[in-house]
Structure 1
């Protein structure tokens, strides 16, 4: 089958189109014929091997998995022994191993029925970013003030919609080029970080961009507000954006303002919840651009350069 392969760490050019065997589903596996796959920073981390601490999981000298990609939408091709939740022909979306290929393996607990009102490309934009946003937003009350930093990206576009759907007043932080997108997703105010500083007081701050000191963000919280730190691509080579998380948690131990650093794993229950919201019209994926499989390296490069708003998606014939 055709797949994107990677045999070393490095910039996008280490990703190339090649031929690999179709994976065989073992007991408890689902083989998905991939129709589309999402592009997220997890792919960039595995591609570059950064931060270096991540290589404990990715592989010390080279990636353990030759084929990158996690977000997936497609059709069940076959199932392994013991799988009863899905059968061949089912349209699914979720998280898989090696999604940048014509076929990929997934566990049933990481898949769900694809939203009926989405194309495969749209559905592939949802799993990782949508679940991350779902955990970050949590429960918001009508009238609460929410600040979403990085609102024009994959996670941010979902967080903006989820907070707005909960009745919150959402202020989006993004670049000038993404102003129209975030307003269309429900943001009632926009701070253009290229032109103005962060101001205001908020009940919830979701920082997806990951480059601002937590102490600065805590200063923008209401008395019992909460700060949610999602990932982070800044910092040094060893720990990257993860370096600010321990200090942020310690700083929140002795304050009423809570600091949260959620770990989001793609699970069927969360995918079901997102599908219900999508089919009800409360949330929609914001697909900024699609790429053929052969242009996966370009897609990852555009993600890092922030050349397109919303979520980037790779489509597979």
Structure 2
């Protein structure tokens, strides 16, 4: 017959036995998790407000006239809803130059970002799947290029293009945009695991050439990474400001970033007209294509970021 010691009896009577500690530990763990959940929710809400507040300000003020911008609270609507009028005036102001800037931006993005994505995909795939002398040196150069900010290369690039007579032309924006060290590094890393060597060896045994193997077999497997690099390049080219600023003098070749800044600076020039309502409306129209691109390609983008993060 089992007997209990006086110490065990006292502990059991005071609620300190092993059976009584279980619910207490569970309650404490649940309270800690709830506390962390509340903190995380609060931080997420703060970041959400911080992210969406500028967008909300842009949308609200795009509905105001020039006078309404100066006579109303920035985060609330004015008496007149002038969004449609502002959009129409934006496209017709100064001879419809905004449309020209939009087409210029689309040109730079289509050729520059598209070409950069194609070159990064080809080069990343080749560096990941082929061995050749000097491969480690190429890797070091790519990593070094990623670490160098684009503004540090702007002045040397300008001097080089000035000697070639290519400044104040679209090529001064397109050619530098074709180089994407980060995109190359990303595709190199992605292609290493995304395309199994066994598939390539089977295709070669069946007599498939390297280009046919790439376009028919490897490229579909690289689609998530390619879309990810494309989004990064599109955003970088669409928002490019410093390079067009030093390369272009003719307003007919301005992208949207430089053109809207020129409108914004009109108020500070002698005899210039203040068109802040058009600057805000043009900025809203400028970000709509980027938002649409992210929403349409979101699932590919998320897949591309996660690929290669887990190794079997």
Which is helix-richer, 1 or 2? Answer: 2
Bigger radius of gyration, 1 or 2?
2
Give the structure-1-normalised TM-score: 0.23
Greater strand fraction, Structure 1 or Structure 2: 1
